[in-house]
Structure 1
C-alpha cells in the first residue's frame, strides 16, 4: 500500500463529507460527515482526518476544483471538490 493517500472533501445534499481514497484495495474508504452546509475549517478537517487515522503531509495544501452534477452537462449544479495529500498516522493502519 502507498505511503501517502489522497483525501477528498465534497458536498452532497448540502452536507460536507471528507474521505480518504484507498486505491488498489477492497477496503471501504474511511469517511467523515461534517453534517452541515458551511465549509469546514482547516482545523476541523485536520481533526476529522485524525479521527480517520490520517494526517496531512508536511506542507500539504488543499486544492479546489469543480465539476458538474451531471457529467458533461455544464448547465447542472456545480460540485466543489477539495483534495490534499495525507499519510497514515504513526501506529495506525490505513
Structure 2
C-alpha cells in the first residue's frame, strides 16, 4: 500500500495541511486550509481534514515537528513550524 507524507504548516497565522504527491504527475496536492488560528489544530481536527482529503494515518503514524528559519542561514529570521506524518489513501488506492 502506497504511503505519502502529510504536512501541517503555519504561515501568516494560517494553518494549512497538505499531502505531498511527488510521484503523481500533474495532480495538485490535496490541501486543507484551517484559516486564521492562534493555536495548532487539534489531532481530531487534523484527522478529520485528512479524511476529507481521502487519506488516513498509517498504523504507526506519529507527528514529527521541526522548525525552519524563514530565511535559510539567518538565525534572526522568523521560525516556521512544520509537522509531518505518514498517511495512506483511505481506500488503499492511488489518490
Query: Same fold judged by TM-score > 0.5?
Result: yes
Alignment of 1:61 onto 2:62: yes
User: 5+ unaligned residues in a row in structure 1: which ranges?
Assistant: none
TM-fit CA distance, 1:60: 0.5
Q: Compared with structure 1, are the counterparts of its residues 32 and 10 closer, same or farther at alpha carbon in structure 2 (3 Å cutoff)?
A: same
Say whether the 8 Å CA contact 2:65–2:84 is kept in structure 1: yes
Number of equivalenced pairs: 93
Say whether the 8 Å CA contact 2:4–2:86 is kept in structure 1: yes
State TM-score, norm by structure 1.
0.92
4+ runs deviating over 3 angstroms: none
Q: Following superposition of structure 1 onto structure 2, how do residues 11-26 of structure 1 map, counting pairs within 5 Å?
A: 11-24=10-23, 25-26=25-26
Match of 1:78 in 2: 79
**Alignment partner of 2:60: what SS?**
coil
